[in-house]
Amino acid sequence: MRVGDAVIGVLVVILGLAVSWSAWSLPNLPNQSYGAATFPVAIGICLMGLGAVMAITGVTRGNGFTLAAEGWGRSPGSWLRLALVVVLIVIFVMVADKLGFLIAGTGLMFALLVTFRTNVFVALLVSPVATYVVAWAFGNLLRVPLPRGLLSSLW
Amino acid sequence: MGDLSTAFLLVFDPYVLLVIAASAAFGLFVGSIPGLTATMATALLVPVTFFMDPVPAIAAIVTATAMAIFSGDIPGCLLRIPGTPASAAYADEAFAMTRKGQAERALGTSLVFSAMGGLFGTTVLVLAAPALAEFALSFSSFEYFWLVCLGLSCAVFISPASPMKGLISLFIGLLIATIGIDNPAGQPRFTFGDYELLTGVPFIPAMIGLFAVSEVMRAVVSRAPPLKPGSEALTGVLRGQGANIRRYWKQGLRGSILGTAIGALPGAGADIAAWISYAVSKRFSRTPEKFGTGHEEGLAEAGASNNGALSGAWIPALVFGIPGDSITAVVIGVLYVKGMNPGPTIFIHKPELIHAVFIVFFLANLILLPFGWMAIKLSKQALRVPQQILMPLILMFCVVGAFAITNSMYGVVVALCLGVLGFFMEENGFPVAPAILGLVLGPMLEQNFITSLIKADGSMLAFFERPIAGGLGVVTIALWIVPIVMLLIGRRRRAAQTV
């Protein structure tokens, strides 16, 4: 999905304004004119300037306030798969501690494989094996404390 | 001579050689997985090295990092997902070569010039460590400010997108870097009351998100035929590399020198070395128009540079105990644990250990050729897995890799948020690499900017008063002004011709 340069320019100006406004009141270092606000305010001002230039050039070049669904953007299926990837990771983040990595990871892997249009039987076979290999490599070999959850007594 | 022979005996012990071989395989494995960095490989090795003597412990770290920095090029080349941040500068270039059916050539160039850069950096480390470290130590906040500005300017100019979009991307990265409590006044900034945001946005999960998660998202929406490494075997990786060395020896040497020098500067590591070298390569190339289309000149220079920087970073670490980059920051801790307190006295009290470290450096960069060759051969087999299975697997690695950095789901959330941001940025022609560099160098830029402002009492002229700072400042400003002047001259000429 392509957003017109002018729209992006306006959004960048708004972002710069928000950053400068919220950083303005941050305190300085004791007895100094500089501190926590200096750098973000400078960034905000630069963003406002860049956004303004982009909006103006967008309008003058005719690439202004447009919103175009091109290529994959015209396919509802693509949007659905994209949303699914985000939703699946959010669900994983929410349940991984309780269920443990082996269970939540297998679920995530299976759902991702299906989202990527892998055959369901292949997904059923690959997801537990891949999750176990990842859990073994990171949990045992690299000593990353992955959440154990419900299966804490087993590994 | 006695110390040197003792050092040889220490290194060429079967146990140490076994450790070197095992850590080489480990480094290649970690580096080639997108999202897992050379720093992470070092950090993960520390608990293991705790049970080792000083020489095998240091050998494990040196070997693993040298391998990881090279093997980060493999997924960058074959799938456009850089394995480590140091490979990000030229991942697009290498991938463009893969698209032209020249993956072997790209990886071969990367391998040979990585070994060259590593050997050069080691030679400098051995011969000129004290002098170079002293030079770096004479830098004040003014020099560092301009150095960071130079690095950031290079990131904008080398991106194939318009400078305007590159700049906006850079400022978004700088903005993300301001999140957290780690600022001059120690005040929470943009944390919205969330205690995890107080620690800031961790760089590695952010990189995983911007580069890897966004790439997986592109794959899931893509209606084009899936992107796969070619089915043919990667043969002849080293074929033609002799001619390549003859053709690009200047670039290799320049990258090695620049990489080693940048590595020796505290705070500037292999990542910034690769970015600057790639930009320098393009700027001085006779065929700059070929850059971005699958041209190996930039690969040679930046590949040599990031491996040179690894050795360079050890110069201030060993001689003065100041970390050159995040890897040597971890290493200094290991040196203390092993009783090798870094500092000038280590050369007097434990010369055999220092010599052993130098020998390990040479050995690690020499075995990079056979081990790297093997890694390339095996990688193609691994990357031949169908994309609909490979992409979920990569996403799984990204999720676990992001988790491993913070030991919490915060890393995964950061990777996801920046993945979505990176996806929409690239969809609209915004390059993500300047954002990454802004995120990495933002804290350093802010710290040196505020420190310099306070020192100069707000006077901008003070930024040019010291000779090196002035020189760096002029180069940075020239980098911005010269293209604009050239553009204006070109326009005027074209206008004159049409009249």
* DSSP string of chain A, one letter each residue: -EEPHHHHHHHHHHHHHHHHHHHHTSPBPTT-S-BTTHHHHHHHHHHHHHHHHHHHHHHHTT--S-EE--GGGG-HHHHHHHHHHHHHHHHHHHHHHHH-HHHHHHHHHHHHHHHTT--HHHHHHHHHHHHHHHHIIIIIIS------GGGTTT-
Distance from CA of A117 to the nearest CA of B (A): 7
Q: Can you tell me the distance from the alpha carbon of B210 to that of B214, in angstroms, rounded to the nearest whole number? A: 6
Q: Number of Cβ pairs closer than 8 Å across A and B?
A: 161
pLDDT at B256: 92
Task: Quote the minimal CA–CA distance from A138 to chain B in Å.
Answer: 8
Question: Are B412 and A105 in contact (CB < 8 Å)?
Answer: no
Give φ, ψ of B239 to 5 degrees: -70, 130
In the prediction, which pLDDT does B144 show? Answer: 80
The angle, 0 to 180 degrees and rounded to 10, between the axes of the packed helices B54-71 and B296-312 is 160
CA geometry: angle at B274 spanning B483 and B468, to 5°?
65
Q: What token pair was written down for B36? A: 């897992």
Q: Which two tokens stand for residue B227?
A: 């992107």
Report whether B38 contacts B86 (CB < 8 A): yes
Do A149 and A100 meet the contact criterion of CB atoms below 8 Å apart? yes
3-state secondary structure chain B: CHHHHHHHHHHCCHHHHHHHHHHHHHHHHHHHCCCCCHHHHHHHHHHHHCCCCHHHHHHHHHHHHHHHHHHCHHHHHHHCCCCCHHHHHHHHHHHHHHHCCCHHHHHHHHHHHHHHHHHHHHHHHHHHHHHHHHHHHCCCHHHHHHHHHHHHHHHHHHCCCCHHHHHHHHHHHHHHHCCECCCCCCCCECCCCCCHHHHCCCHHHHHHHHHHHHHHHHHHHCCCCCCCCCCCCCCCCCCCHHHHHHHCHHHHHHHHHHHHHHHHCCCCCHHHHHHHHHHHHHHHCCCHHHCCCCCHHHHHHHHHHHHHHHHHCHHHHHHHCCCCCHHHHHHHHHHHHCCCCCCCCHHHHCHHHHHHHHHHHHHHHHHHHHHHHHHHHHHHHHHCCCHHHHHHHHHHHHHHHHHHHHCCHHHHHHHHHHHHHHHHHHHCCCCCHHHHHHHHHHHHHHHHHHHHHHHHCCCHHHHHCCHHHHHHHHHHHHHHHHHHHHHHHHHHHHHHHHC
pTM (predicted TM-score): 0.73
Give the Cα separation of B120 and B264 in Å (integer). Answer: 13
Check B220 against A116: CB less than 8 A apart.
yes
Residue with tokens 């290493």: B331
Chain B residues whose CB is inside 8 A of the A34 CB are 184, 450, 453-454
Residues 77-136, chain A, touching B (beta carbon < 8 A)? 78-79, 81-82, 84-86, 89-90, 92-93, 96-97, 101, 105, 108-109, 112-113, 115-118, 122, 126, 130-131, 134
pLDDT at residue number B93? 84
What residues of B are in contact with residue A108 (Cβ under 8 Å)?
396, 399
* Chain B residues close to A122, C-beta within 8 Å: 389
Closest residue in A to B442 (Cα) is A39
Q: Give contacts of A133 with chain B, Cβ < 8 Å.
A: none
How many other C-beta atoms can be found within 10 angstroms of the C-beta atom of residue A122? 14
Contact B339, B51 (CB under 8 A): no
Cα–Cα dist B483/B14, whole Å: 57
Contact: B178, A96; criterion CB under 8 Å = no
In whole angstroms, what is the distance from residue B83 CA to residue B77 CA? Answer: 10
Alpha-carbon distance B36 to B386, whole Å? 22
- Are B221 and A108 in contact (CB < 8 Å)? no
Of A8, A26, A138, the CB nearest to B187: A26
Q: How far apart are CA A12 and CA A52, in angstroms?
A: 8
Nearest CA distance, B24 vs chain A (angstrom)? 15
B343 touches B320 (CB < 8 A): yes
Phi and psi for B449 in degrees, rounded to 5?
Answer: -65, -50
CB contact under 8 A, B220 and A3: no
Task: Collect all residues of chain A within an 8 Å Cβ-Cβ radius of residue B68.
Answer: none
Q: What is the total residue count of chain A? A: 155
Sequence-separated contacts (24+) of A144-148 with Cβ below 8 Å? A144/B44, A144/B400, A144/B403, A144/B404, A144/B407, A145/B407, A146/A101, A146/B400, A146/B403, A147/A96, A147/A97, A147/A100, A147/A101, A147/A104, A148/A100, A148/A101, A148/A102
Q: Helices B249-264 & B296-312, crossing angle to 10 degrees?
A: 30
Instruction: Give backbone dihedrals phi and psi of A42, rounded to 5 degrees, phi first.
Output: -60, -40
CB A10 within 8 A of CB B170: no
Amino acid at A147: P
Alpha-carbon distance B297 to B288, whole Å? 10
Structure tokens at B366: 């020499």
The distance of B9 to chain A (nearest Cα, Å) reads: 30
Chain B residues near residue A39 by CB distance under 8 angstroms: 178, 183-184, 445-446, 449-450
Neighbours of A35 (CB within 10 A): 19
ipTM tops 0.90 = yes
Closest CA to B237 of B119, B109, B365, B79: B109
Q: Are B297 and B110 in contact (CB under 8 A)?
A: no
d(CA B94, nearest CA chain A) in Å: 26
CB of A71 within 8 Å of a chain B CB? The answer is yes
Asked if A126 lies within 8 A of B217 by C-beta distance, the reply is: no
Q: Which chain B residues touch A132 with a CB distance below 8 Å? A: none
d(CA B201, CA B386): 33
Give me the residues paired with residue B300 across strands. none
Across the 499 residues of chain B, what is the mean pLDDT of every consecutive 10-residue run?
A: 78 90 87 70 72 85 85 81 77 83 83 89 81 66 83 69 86 93 85 88 82 84 62 65 82 90 73 85 83 82 88 77 67 76 69 83 88 81 71 87 85 94 90 80 86 87 89 87 82 77
Among chain B residues, CA nearest to A141: B44
- Residue spans per domain, chain B: 2-154+205-273+286-396
A150 touches chain B (CB under 8 A): no
> Out of A43, A86, A108, whose CB is closest to B171?
A43
Contacts of B174 in chain A (CB under 8 A): 43
Tokens for B150, please give them: 């130079």
Taking an 8 Å cut-off on Cβ atoms, the answer to whether B164 and A28 are in contact is no
* Tokens found for residue B216: 């997986």
State the nearest Cα–Cα gap between A49 and chain B, in angstroms.
Answer: 10
Report the greatest alpha carbon distance in chain A.
Answer: 68
CA-closest candidate to residue B64, choices B50, B82, B43, B87: B43
In contact, B30 and B84? CB cutoff 8 Å: no
| Cα separation, B252 vs B237, whole angstroms | 18
**Of the candidates B358, B63, B430, B132, the residue with the CA atom closest to the CA atom of residue A8:** B430
| Token digits of residue B54 | 């000083």
Q: Give me the amino acid identity at B337.
A: V
pLDDT in tens, chain A (155 residues): 678 888 999 999 999 999 999 998 888 888 888 888 999 999 999 999 999 999 998 888 876 777 777 778 788 888 999 999 999 999 999 999 999 999 999 999 999 999 998 999 999 999 999 999 988 888 877 678 888 888 777 66
Q: Which residues pair with A2 in a beta bridge?
A: A68
State the CB neighbour count (10 A cutoff) for residue B499.
5
